[in-house]
A and B are shown apart, each in its own frame.
Chain A
Amino acid sequence: MKDIGSISLDFSISLGNFKLEVDCQLHQKVTAFLGASGSGKTTLLNCICGTFAPDQGVITFGDEVLYSYDMKINVPSNLRRFGYVFQEGHLFPHLTVEQNIRYGQSRKLRREKDSISQEIEILEIAELQNRYPSQLSGGQRQRVAIARALAMKPRLLLMDEPLASLDGGLKSRIIPYIHHIKNAYEIPIIYVTHAISEAMALADEAYLLSDGKIAASGEPHQILTSPSVLPIANLTGVENIFNLPVTSSDQQKGITELEIGSQSLVVPYMDVEIGERIPIAIRAEDIIISLEPNLPISARNILRGKVDEVDDQVLLSILVEEQRFSVKITHEAREQLQLCKGKEVYCVIKANAVNLLWNEG
């Protein structure tokens, strides 16, 4: 494999009032850039693939300079050989699926019948080959777009929110394909998304982009503790994300327990090692606030915490040990329970409301 510690991005570009400014070295197989819309994610990819030229700085891939303001180098995008999967797929409407997939291949590869068999197999598009893009569903179109980017034998795969145009069910069906690609192809992947769950599921390293600047970087679960991730989290509807160690896992009872300070969080059983940290997500509207700990209810988790913040909207911030929970309640409920800063409350959470973020496909 190409030494992937060697993608270096150090450039800036202005588009109207917006300015993107990055300086980072990508070391991992899959790097995610996480950010809300308008944070500069797509601009970043456009600069890497050569569709946009930065205003200044340097972009290198290995020892190859792709862009350098000082040296007046800007390698055109068709010579960079970076596969690019776009949010909307951008399949060529006048070509069949097979012609689309082969578009980026060299003349020699195009003549070899089985030169796209790996892509067709991994992305399961064998029956679609003779169709036109208009005859495909959203998920199929995206799989074809991924196959097309891979069939050109790219040196780097760029993915711009490849799942954003798909609805929830389809999303979780595509993620395993991307996982498969990560293992089957010896190329680095740069994955851009506003969905924290995707970054957690796929990336080895993540950068948080905020307003054109890198606000945080590290392992995906590390940057989740960064305060600047919160606005993005709210956008995706998964407000509570934790990375918690496993204390016990019992297949017969069907539960796994995670440690939250001195308390524990019960989640549906998963095949994990004790001590392993796993990323989970809980939606703010899936948490119930109670003033009493001993309730005759089926929910498995009743966590003691303190109200830390009550905002004007309907979002409560509650500290359970060291972890911060965002909880959505109605105005009426807030007034009836007389919730104010410092009040002791209990967070009631069903085990099944806890979603596992990673997906070892």
Chain B
Amino acid sequence: MRITPEEVTALLLSVKVALFSLVVMFPLGLLVGWILAKRDFPGKSVINTIVMLPLVLPPVVSGYLLLILLSRNGPIGGILYDLFKIEIVFSQFAVVIAVSIISFPLLVRGIMTGIASVPSELEDTARTLGATPIRVFFTVTLPLAKQGIIAGVILGFAKSLGEFGATLMVAGNIPGKTQTLALSIFSAVQLGQDITVYRLVFISTILAFIAIWITEKFQSTSISKILN
């Protein structure tokens, strides 16, 4: 079994995009997860619904909405083009955006479950011991929410690796540029390259297996718990 350079490129692109998305979205995920887990405010359920929406929407629909927003004629894409002459659609950056939006709910859910499991009495206790809210977050909330956060990160990362529908809509399927692992499987199937399909399917399955296995094996906050 030999992997072709094109397949390596696709695999590396998937990993690169997933990592990049994770680095960018993690701080935001922490903030949103913390707000949803610990704060009460009017309209919280609306925020929660919006964040979770991509989990339920067909990825193609999310991708289509992104396409409308980001294209040169769209509200966001238009501004970016006018100001910086940047075109996001059908670029690697579009892959990152698509993947980030789709995996964000899983990341947030993990973080939220982790943070919500930290008893607020412990956080209040830390405050009475003189800790500022920031110090409480980093020395009490975060370490105690670790399990859920790690689960959310692994799950979100795995989801990013395999994202298909939204990426196809907003970034296209350009070999060497925006063709990720999942997209190259799709292309291979269409071209009837069975051997290639088997190889790529095998790689994808192994990656997903490892991700879930790690969380289930080392975590008490398992994936099944997050999805409940």
Contacts and interface: CB of A to CB of B under 8 A. Distances in A.
Given A92-B140, A93-B144, A94-B143, A78 B122 contact: no
A78 B132 CA distance: 6
A288 B140 CA distance: 55
B144 A83 contact: no
A90 interface: yes
Nearest to A86: B125
Contacts of A134: none
A103 B144 contact: no
Contacts of A94: 143-144
A93 B124 CA distance: 15
A51 interface: yes
Interface string B160-182: 00000000000000000000000
Contact of B127 (A77, A83, A88, A106): A77
B144 A51 contact: no
A81 B143 CA distance: 24
Interface in A46-76: 49-51, 76
Contact of B125 (A76, A79, A80, A90): A90
A257 to B, nearest CB: 47
Nearest to B131: A78
A92 B128 contact: no
B129 A51 contact: no
A103 B128 contact: no
A148 interface: yes
Contacts of B132: 78
Given A92-B140, A93-B144, A94-B144, A83 B128 contact: yes
Contacts of A84: 125, 128
Contact of B128 (A49, A88, A106): A49
A152 interface: yes
Nearest to A99: B139
Contacts of B124: 51, 77
Contacts of A103: 126, 129, 131, 139
B130 interface: yes
A148 B130 CA distance: 12
A139 interface: no
B127 A76 contact: yes
Nearest to B129: A104
A103 B130 CA distance: 9
A82 interface: yes
A78 B125 CA distance: 9
Interface residues of B, number: 17
B82 interface: no
Interface residues of A, number: 24
Nearest to A151: B129
A51 B140 contact: no
Nearest to A89: B125
Contacts of A106: 130
Nearest to B124: A51
B121 A78 contact: no
A78 B128 contact: yes
Interface string B94-130: 0000000000000000000000000101101111111
Nearest to B128: A84
Nearest to B143: A94
Contacts of A148: 129
A181 B54 CA distance: 57
B159 to A, nearest CB: 29
A90 B127 contact: no
Interface string B130-159: 111100000110011000000000000000
A92 B124 CA distance: 11
B127 A51 contact: yes
B18 to A, nearest CB: 29
Contact of A78 (B127, B139, B140): B127
B131 A51 contact: no
Which of A76, A94, A106 lies at the interface centre, i.e. has the most chain B CB atoms within 10 A of its CB? A94
A81 B130 contact: yes
A78 to B, nearest CB: 5
Contacts of B133: 78
A82 B122 contact: no
B128 A77 contact: yes
A300 B16 CA distance: 87
Question: Counting chain A CB atoms within 10 Å of each CB, which of B128, B129, B131, B133 scores highest?
Answer: B128
A180 to B, nearest CB: 22
A152 B122 CA distance: 16
A109 B210 CA distance: 45
Contacts of A78: 127-133
A86 B119 CA distance: 14
Interface of B: 119, 121-122, 124-133, 139-140, 143-144
Given A49-B128, A77-B128, A94-B143, 12 more contacts: A77-B127, A78-B127, A80-B128, A82-B128, A83-B128, A86-B121, A92-B144, A103-B126, A103-B139, A104-B130, A104-B131, A148-B129
Interface of A: 49-51, 76-84, 86, 88, 90, 92-94, 103-104, 106, 148-149, 152
19 contacts: A50-B128, A51-B127, A77-B124, A77-B128, A78-B127, A78-B128, A82-B128, A83-B128, A90-B121, A90-B122, A90-B125, A92-B125, A92-B126, A92-B144, A94-B144, A103-B131, A103-B139, A149-B129, A152-B129
